[in-house]
Structure 1
């Protein structure tokens, strides 16, 4: 039996429609989140026959080089986990897909996300990512050391701090700093040159423009602010409130309460904590699983200290998934991004308890899961309900970060004073922001 050409053409087109096949490459940096997203990918593929999600994971240090070189070589992932510190430059260079028309077309409920998480990924009417999770900062404490020093959990949960004498925070840190002879830093016999356990350690040792875990919480609770609002070209790194905060942190090693900048940089505060070389470190909620798995002693998360302003303060950061502008499978990539930002996927993530998903209510679910594993992560929710602030966002962020990193490193190494370094750095920063 013969069919008219038009009938055969329609049948052929129908066959093409049913055999749609696409591979979406997805890149993330956190290995601990990999299992959750592999499950999301499997669920997505069942709902979208013909579309395959190929997930790759690369550690933070190599991740951004992979993304950036991929943009140039045409091999970038179709979808990748994006960061507030990185996306302004990517957006400015036209490397990200504007999701606004897609969000509007598919009527995505952006009000489902925790306040502020969606908006910060937009600029001038364009949207560059859908929120996936959020984080705040807290202190992780070696409770075996705390109990031995007579420091209670209640003491730790109600610490105060100021840049003059350190408040009750410094008194506790002194009790937890112990020299080779067993004297703590409240004793006149304490030998600050022969410390076996430091009471506190600033992470990484080389903070940049954000100081997410290193200094921003102290500075903001002291009255400092980065800029008046996101994308402003005027920064306030020369603010006396920041100057005295950085000077205070830089002075801790000289008191024997923290390791030197050089030692902290080579050893890493997280490894020092796990190795019982330090009693308290500030870290983000994304590290909950790491410490649970690696710190083989009793430990606890506590809120950050209340500062001179009368409140606790924390950077409130949210990651998002973005689509590369050069992707050859943009339609499928959007379906995947939309799924990543949905309750279906974020509930899977919540059930692993690794991070706090962006959709309202899912963070509380993650905390319940963590509780079944013996982890009380309520300190992070306490911080989320305290004074929160966003990362500084501006064009030229990578250059600004280098300027601040160099200035702060000089102060921490004792090469210059905080006031001089920050005044000079702020002039350079504001010039870069206005370019």
Structure 2
């Protein structure tokens, strides 16, 4: 089973959105939280630190910092790059010791843990002064970084999940390309027609990914992963079982490789081989697929097929500030600049990510015109925030163990879904 890699959301291949494990052991008592050194401007030059985890984005982030410095010459910001594999462990240690960076990246799965324990600077009362308007970002992203009515993060970028497909395989099989009229049934029928196991060719990949796969189909079946109030699991709902069954049925029908095959070789790499007709992949796969010679001119993307309703998971990173920064006024000003239209456009042009600021996505679309990337933006209108709680990792990390036997055909799906709901409800009860 797989969990999205750290690196959050754009690295998806270097910054995939779900970096979960390290935050579980966060010892936060010592960080507890005054807001540091008041709101007055410092008497001399101010130095801020800005921590990120994606080396691919470092040049773009440096250009944003340079633009901020040009407008605020008395404030110097140093970009700190921490490898994604170490990011959360180091942040945990720094937050515990009271030496966290002034401003840093945050992802959805970890946000509530840091918010609830006073590690992040509350921003709600600072938004007007810094001229940040939360309506400038998709509300599903804004809500990811709001806790008990207080805003803690300014959305930076986002990703959604689309249906990637290999046109060459569709043409050879005489199957019409998928589009926004497709339903689950259309996909299931096409997947069977596009499969020729004797050639090692399959209609679709059905890996046990949550963000890319079964979270979306659970939502499309009318279910939830976590209740709106964050207190109970939705895995034991009939709709959740339906959403999970969508994937296991594809494996049983032989339209997808086995779990073992998808474990031995990472699924996106299987799609890279040119032997897979369809793949539920994120906007973060764009760069990977655009550079693969096996896929040149043969691949495109459209919106996810519709179940009983249209729905899909959205995740995105936010910029946040440390509650104990010595320079809260300057940190808040820098956060506002990071959330500005200018910063978003720099990110779109140079970092290869979808900027969160509304109507600044054209540069990202134009960078890879061979794909219909507008599909990822079209899905925002019916997107649902990535499911999180105060300790997301406590239950999400158990999904792999519970569902793996279902994917390999050795366990009952309904029983596993009920088991996962119990695991999740127990974890959630400890958050109260």
Q: TM-score, normalised by structure 2?
A: 0.82
User: Structure 1's 32 and 145: CA in aligned 2 closer, same or farther, altered over 3 A?
Assistant: farther
Matched, 1:133 2:157: yes
Native 8 Å contact 2:221 2:239 kept in 1: yes
Q: Provide the residue aligned with 2:214 in structure 1.
A: 215
Per-residue Cα deviation, 1:205-244 (whole angstroms, up to 9, x for no partner): 4x4xxx2102122222222122442x42022111122213
RMSD of the TM alignment (CA)? 2.4
Q: How far apart in 2 are the matches of 1:157 and 1:295? A: 27
Q: How far apart in 1 are the matches of 2:226 and 2:194? A: 36
Deviation of 1:369 (Å): 4.1
Q: Provide the residue aligned with 2:119 in structure 1.
A: 95
Choose from 41, 45, 51 the match for 1:26: 51
Native 8 Å contact 1:233 1:433 kept in 2: yes
Q: Provide the residue aligned with 1:10 in structure 2.
A: none
Q: Provide the residue aligned with 2:190 in structure 1.
A: 172
User: Structure 1's 313 and 40: CA in aligned 2 closer, same or farther, altered over 3 A?
Assistant: same
Larger radius of gyration between Structure 1 and Structure 2: 1
Q: How far apart in 2 are the matches of 1:57 and 1:202? A: 34
Choose from 357, 364, 374 the match for 1:366: 364
Native 8 Å contact 1:82 1:319 kept in 2: yes
Native 8 Å contact 2:353 2:364 kept in 1: yes
Matches within 5 A, 1:131-280: 131-153=155-177, 155-161=178-184, 167-180=185-198, 182=199, 196-203=200-207, 205=208, 207=209, 211-229=210-228, 231-280=229-278
Q: Which runs of 5+ in 2 are unaligned?
A: 1-41
Matches within 5 A, 1:413-432: 413-432=408-427
Q: What SS is found at the alignment partner of 1:247?
A: helix
Deviation of 1:300 (Å): 0.1
Q: How far apart in 2 are the matches of 1:51 and 1:99? A: 20
Q: How far apart in 1 are the matches of 2:203 and 2:129? A: 54
Q: How far apart in 2 are the matches of 1:118 and 1:339? A: 17
Native 8 Å contact 2:156 2:316 kept in 1: yes
Q: What SS is found at the alignment partner of 1:349?
A: helix
Choose from 357, 378, 383 the match for 2:379: 383
Native 8 Å contact 1:24 1:329 kept in 2: no
Per-residue Cα deviation, 1:377-433 (whole angstroms, up to 9, x for no partner): 121123223x32122232231111123332122322333211111112212312321
Q: Which runs of 5+ in 1 are unaligned?
A: 1-15, 162-166, 183-195
Q: How many pairs align? A: 387
Deviation of 1:40 (Å): 0.8
Q: How far apart in 2 are the matches of 1:68 and 1:415? A: 38
Matches within 5 A, 1:338-357: 338-352=336-350, 354-357=352-355
User: Structure 1's 132 and 418: CA in aligned 2 closer, same or farther, altered over 3 A?
Assistant: same
Q: How far apart in 1 are the matches of 2:378 and 2:351? A: 17
User: Structure 1's 244 and 295: CA in aligned 2 closer, same or farther, altered over 3 A?
Assistant: farther
Deviation of 1:376 (Å): 2.1
Q: How far apart in 2 are the matches of 1:175 and 1:384? A: 31
Q: How far apart in 1 are the matches of 2:245 and 2:140? A: 32
Deviation of 1:126 (Å): 2.1
User: Structure 1's 332 and 106: CA in aligned 2 closer, same or farther, altered over 3 A?
Assistant: closer
Q: What SS is found at the alignment partner of 2:301?
A: strand
Choose from 100, 105, 115 the match for 2:129: 105
Deviation of 1:88 (Å): 0.8
Q: Provide the residue aligned with 1:189 in structure 2.
A: none
Q: How far apart in 2 are the matches of 1:32 and 1:290? A: 13
Native 8 Å contact 1:353 1:367 kept in 2: no
